Amino acid sequence: MNLSFSRFGIFSAAAMLLSLAAVHTLRAQGGGNAAPPATPKASAPIDLTGYWVAIVTEDWRWRMVTPARGDYASIPITPAARAVGDAWDPAKDEAAGEQCKSYGAPAVMRNPERLHITWQDDNTLKVETDAGTQTRLLHFGNWKAPQGPATWQGDSVALWETPTPPGGANARPQTPAKSGDLKVVTTHIRPGYLRKNGVPYSASTVLTEYWDLATERHLSAAFNGQQWITITTVVEDPEYLQVPWITSLHFRKEADGAKWYPQPCSARW
Amino acid sequence: MVTETAGGDRTHMNRTQYFIPAILLILGCSGLSVPAFAQFDLAGQWSDRYHEDWPERIPGPDAVDLLGLPLSEAGRAKADSWNVAVQTLPERECIPHPATYGLQGPANLHIFSEPDPVSGRPLVWKIYGTFGRATLTIWMDGRPHPSPYALHTFEGFTTGEWEGDTLTTYTTHIKMGYIRRNGVANSDRATVVSHFVRHGNILTITTLVEDPVYLTEPLIRSHSWELDPKQEVLPTPCEPVVEVQRAKGLVPHYLPGENPFIEEVSKMYGIPQIAVRGGAETMYPEFRKRIKDQYVAPAKCERYCCGWGGGGGNVNLLKGCITGGASNP
């Protein structure tokens, strides 16, 4: 019996030492012969690709229908914004070919819609919306924005935010992180509306988003396994907002694009 | 195999006794245990932002506004029966906001932890600040939920675990209460799943309420708070008093078909009844096709047109905004 115990003791100790040595070796490799960093696509800590549907349970009266003129509830607008909103004229926007003013980056995700998210290439995540048939390109890495006029979807720079690895922020993780979020900062956006009824945002607007993914494990059998994206959205606009407008949206994953319903921009609906 | 002699059995016992701890120790040394580094600190004073649904969350929802709620027929009937005067019953005046609504309602939060005396890690997280002091206690030690027949409370029984850098909580044992402050109810079979994520000084909590009695699909909602060290969350004491003299046993309510406010939201906002009456289909984008030709927008906003809160915003800047609501700036 004692002999057996000794064998197991030796085995355990040896295994522990081997394990520690392996960990030490792995961590040491972080500063040595490291492989080239994985592409943003390969190193994605969460998989956002697929079809997603907006579930409109909040701000229903301001998202599912076009609210009345002068309805600015919940948005911390400035008096200057109110003056613009009070003068909202969808016919004028249509005549000017500006039907897409409520489909710019700070507003487009609030539309009742479906998203189709794919990798355009190793460094670019593409987000298409069926409402207004808009396309957002989220650029990772050292992407340089092209020169030119501002666009509805602006210039989006993306990065994966992952938990700090063991050893601190400067330590290189040995395997791709299995959790994290997507941070997107968008600038150079063509001025438009935060809300369909003419609540404006200016050319100075900066949009910051955090995309988080959750897979449900505590729901009943019919709903367990559902995947949800929650997007925490911060809109900063020194001209038309008194403070950053902070909202959050949620999208549920769908099996396919069977309900994809592309519709052009509308200034009224 | 336990087929040897008694002595052999003891040998087997010894192997098991030492082998399993050794393996656990090895796994721990290998960094394969749950990584503490993926967690964030929830502690602090968190100031709510009412940048969505301000009229519902602050002054309160309109009567029989069921927009965007995945209600069952029972849930709709229950909401229709609600008479706001029921809240003047002394037995009902001090009902706290239950776990199904606490984070949706007006709630600046004070979040703090109580450490495990051995590990020093949070044994519980406590979320204080929801109306009526239904303080949410999140047990982090992996304990099981009690028997389904155990005590139900407004705060319920909540366990939590880290999934990467997200804290996921699961709440059961919730007393019957409300998921919207106009009488939309949750049953005592409702459960809540919440996901907490932190981005800098912004805390976002996404909740999914599931209720086999009053909902046909999970009700998902999400809100954000900003860290505000100067905030002080005060208690919301409540003392029941007799506000209205009534005959003993009288409980204000509406019988089926007798609620006079059923069409009020339609009249006020031009939204068709098929939407106002709620149901899971009203949450989906394709529902807009059904109401496109029926919706008539009011000529101008008449009520709660400029409301929002949080962040110390100077609401006086908005004086003169088109409005008719008493609670408006």
**Stretch B114-130: mean pLDDT:** 93
CB B285, CB A49: distance < 8 Å? no
- Judged by CB atoms closer than 8 Å, whether chains meet at A57 and B220 is answered as yes
CA closest to A131 among chain B residues: B285
Question: Domain ranges in chain B?
Answer: 1-33, 44-227, 299-329
pTM here is 0.86
For an interface test with B, the pick among A6, A55, A183 (most B C-beta atoms closer than 10 Å) comes out as A55
Complex ipTM above 0.90? no
**Cβ pairs A/B, distance under 8 A:** 255
Tens of pLDDT along A96-125? 999 999 999 999 999 999 999 999 999 999
- Judged by CB atoms closer than 8 Å, whether chains meet at B15 and A74 is answered as no
For an interface test with B, the pick among A19, A62, A71 (most B C-beta atoms closer than 10 Å) comes out as A71
**pLDDT range class, residue A176, cuts 50, 70, 90:** low
**pLDDT range class, residue A15, cuts 50, 70, 90:** very low
User: In one letter, which amino acid is B237?
Assistant: P
Beta bridge partners of B125: B113, B138
CA closest to B318 among chain A residues: A79
Please report, for residues A81, B26, B110, B134, B228, the alpha-carbon distance to residue B236 in angstroms, rounded to integers and kept in the order given: 36, 50, 13, 10, 20
pLDDT above 70 covers a percentage of chain B that reads 82
Nearest to A251 by CA among A226, A268, A269: A226
Tens of pLDDT along A44-81? 999 999 999 999 999 999 999 999 999 999 999 999 99
Question: Domain ranges in chain A?
Answer: 1-34, 40-254
Q: What is the pLDDT of residue A19?
A: 45
CB B111, CB B127: distance < 8 Å? yes
- Judged by CB atoms closer than 8 Å, whether chains meet at B19 and A8 is answered as yes
Q: How many CB atoms lie within 10 A of CB A152?
A: 23
Nearest to A196 by CA among A111, A77, A128: A111
By three-state DSSP, how is residue A261 classified? coil
